[in-house]
Structure 1
Amino acid sequence: MFLSRNNFLIYIVKQIALARSAYRRYTSFNIVITIIIIKLMARCFRQNSGQKEKKLASVIEKNEKVVILEISEKEMFLYGTSYGRGGEIIYNELGLRAPVKVEEIAFEAGWAGMTLEVLPEYLAEADYLLLGVRELGEENKKDIQNSPLWQNLPAVQVGCVMKYDLDSFYFQDPIALEQQLDETAAFLLSKQQAGAPS
Structure 2
Amino acid sequence: MLIPYGTYNDDIRADIRAFGELLDKQAEAEAWIKQFDEKAASAREKIKTAVKDGETVGIYELRSQEFYVLGDNWGRGGQVIYNALKLTPPPAVKEVVDANTPPKLISQEVLPQFAADHMFVTTYETKQEDKDKFFGNAVYKNLPAVKNNHIYEMTFEQMYYYDPLAIEGQLDLVVEQLLAHQAK
Structure 2 length as normaliser, TM-score? Answer: 0.78
Please say if residues 130 and 164 of structure 1, whose CA atoms lie closer than 8 Å, have aligned partners that are also in contact. Answer: yes
Identity %: 28
Name which of structure 1's ranges 63-72 and 114-123 shifts more when overlaid on structure 2. Answer: 114-123
Gaps in structure 1 of 5+ consecutive residues: 1-15, 18-30
Instruction: Give matches, 1:134-173, under 5 Å.
Output: 134-173=124-163
- Which of the residues 101, 107, 112 maps onto 2:104? 112
Please say if residues 69 and 77 of structure 1, whose CA atoms lie closer than 8 Å, have aligned partners that are also in contact. Answer: yes
Alignment root-mean-square deviation, CA:
2.4
Q: Which has the higher contact order (CA 8 A, sep 6+)?
A: 2
Whole-angstrom CA distance in 1 between matches of 2:27 and 2:119 = 37
Pairs aligned (count):
164
Structure 1 length as normaliser, TM-score? Answer: 0.73
- Which of the residues 84, 89, 92 maps onto 1:101? 92
Change (3 A) 1:58 1:154: closer
Post-superposition CA distance 1:67-122 (Å, at most 9, x none): 11100112111011111111111111111111101212454114211011111222
Larger radius of gyration: 1
Whole-angstrom CA distance in 1 between matches of 2:64 and 2:162 = 24
> What is the Cα deviation at residue 139 of structure 1?
3.1
**Are 1:75 and 2:66 an aligned pair?**
yes
Change (3 A) 1:145 1:136: closer
Please say if residues 70 and 96 of structure 2, whose CA atoms lie closer than 8 Å, have aligned partners that are also in contact. Answer: no
Change (3 A) 1:73 1:122: same
Change (3 A) 1:36 1:106: closer
Post-superposition CA distance 1:130-169 (Å, at most 9, x none): 1100023543221111110011111111221111111221
Whole-angstrom CA distance in 2 between matches of 1:77 and 1:97 = 18
Please say if residues 106 and 112 of structure 1, whose CA atoms lie closer than 8 Å, have aligned partners that are also in contact. Answer: no
SS in 1 for 2:52: coil
